[in-house]
Amino acid sequence: MLLHEPFDFHARSRAGYVLSKSDGTALTYGQGRERSLRMASMLLGLGLKPGERVATIMNNAIDALLLIYAAARTGIVCVPLNCRLAPREWMGMIDDAQARVVIADPAFGEALDNAGGKPPIAICSQSTRPGWLALDELLAAASRDIPRTSLSDEAPVLQLYTSGTTGKPKGAMISHRSVLSDISLISFAIGNCFPGQRSLHLLPFFHVAGVGFALRAVSGGESLVILKSVDPAVLLKTLVDEEIAWTFIVPTIIQMLLKEPGIEDLRFPHLRQILYGASPIAEHVLVKAMKIFGCDFLQGFGMTELSCAGTFLSEDDHARALVDRPDLLSSAGRALPGTELRIVDGHGADCPPGEIGEILIRGPQVFLGYWGLREATEAALRDGWLHSGDAGSLDEEGYLFIRDRIKDMIVSGGENVYPAEVEAVLHQHPQVAEVSVIGVPDDKWGETVMAVIVPEVGCELNEAELDSYCRAHLGGFKLPRRYSFVTALPRNASGKILKRDLRAGFWEGQARQIG
């Protein structure tokens, strides 16, 4: 099966169902398929052939998804770029992907022009821009009939660039089969997907979770309510007014919503699930959120190379965590159906339960490899297993606990310290809004633990208080020896904390560099 086929099924059998709603404009499944077919015809008419790339730089909009379906019909590979990056970064990815056609929102097109990066075939997604083709004009002239093409479900349909927190971004190639497999596995794990149901989509469609859950919603015949930016008041109003059944947001946004004035007076009778990812959730935040929203909470672990997700912590797991296993809130859950997990040591041997090693994953959702990077692909895909680069452990019941990126591990006096473990403890402190733990040089221990903390608004933290708190939860060698209090943590365009930037000032001039 190919990626566009579930979409086409709903468009034929439920043509009048609402596909999407954004900025007050609704589009039906029948209208969406028609537009996607014309997009496919347009791409072919521009001379693109199967296997070639089309890049998009767009804010969240239904056209961003329809272009993916258009590419899927033709064998062309869609490359959604992070619209929060700098123009020079877009140019590097466009060049790397060898994309002759770029479709961009007007502001991003202007930024490319100003940076001297206008592509050979430049298309403006909205209205017109000098020197750029207009998408709507091209679609008006395009046919809805496209030639039949024999395509394999093993062919790439998406190329998503990794966030590059540890180096140059890599183009992860994802096949039709991988995307549809992950959609199916997630649906088995969390259910709650049926025609006409309304889901809210806030995560950016250039991000694997954002596009993955949006494509899942379309494959289920749902109505997608799409927001382009995060505004807590608008988000809450949308949940209520649009009778949203489920959404995927990150814990930071959950905390923002809980601080919104008047939230205690709102009711969400149609909301059944809130899915979250990217980081664990503090117990006191979860308890309050469950009370306010009155729905189930689920959490997943995923990565671009998994086409989205590999594990899930279920609603029952969350309930159990509040009764007798609070540690489960730090878990990423258990493997999705058809997905296998292993934890291996530095020699490739399986680790016993509780022992930390590298997380390996095998399943039908694993990506094809990195575009143009044979050595990186061979390092990531070995003996049928995806080597994640993440350190973690499995307990006796198969729950996965992610400790950190292996490259972020701190070696202090010969002991391994995983920053994520220390961060999880500090994150539970009610006066800590955000935290990042890094290793810094130490004459005695080689490295020592440092916590960089953003306090909650109006709170004044001190090192003695935090040290006492940590000693109650961590072994001595894991304790932060230094603290730094800041107003914000450095992040990349995907919102991930840049630990290399935090470490840079401390390791400059050192014989050994970290990360």
At 511 the pLDDT is: 38
Within 10 A of 166 (CB to CB), how many other CB atoms are there? 15
d(CA 144, CA 203): 30
Regions in the chain scoring below 70 on pLDDT: 163-167, 278-280, 404, 413-414, 493-494, 508-515
d(CA 342, CA 340): 7
Cβ proximity of 76 and 53 under 8 Å: yes
Closest CA relative to residue 452, chosen from 422, 414, 413: 422
At 510 the pLDDT is: 54
DSSP reduced 3-state for 466: helix
Closest CA relative to residue 244, chosen from 253, 234, 252: 234
At 135 the pLDDT is: 97
pTM score of the predicted model: 0.84
- Report all structural domains of the chain as residue ranges with CATH numbers, in order of start: 4-11+27-169 (3.40.50.12780), 198-364+372-405 (3.40.50.12780), 416-507 (3.30.300.30)
At 512 the pLDDT is: 37
Cβ proximity of 421 and 475 under 8 Å: no
At 147 the pLDDT is: 87
At 255 the pLDDT is: 86
At 441 the pLDDT is: 86
SS (H, E, C) 171-206: EEEEEHHHHHHHHHHHHHHHCCCCCCCEEEECCCCC
Closest CA relative to residue 187, chosen from 160, 152, 212, 223: 212
From residue 343, give the alpha-carbon distance in Å to each of 81, 391, 437, 502: 32, 8, 23, 29
Write phi, then psi, for 159 (nearest 5 degrees).
Answer: -130, 105
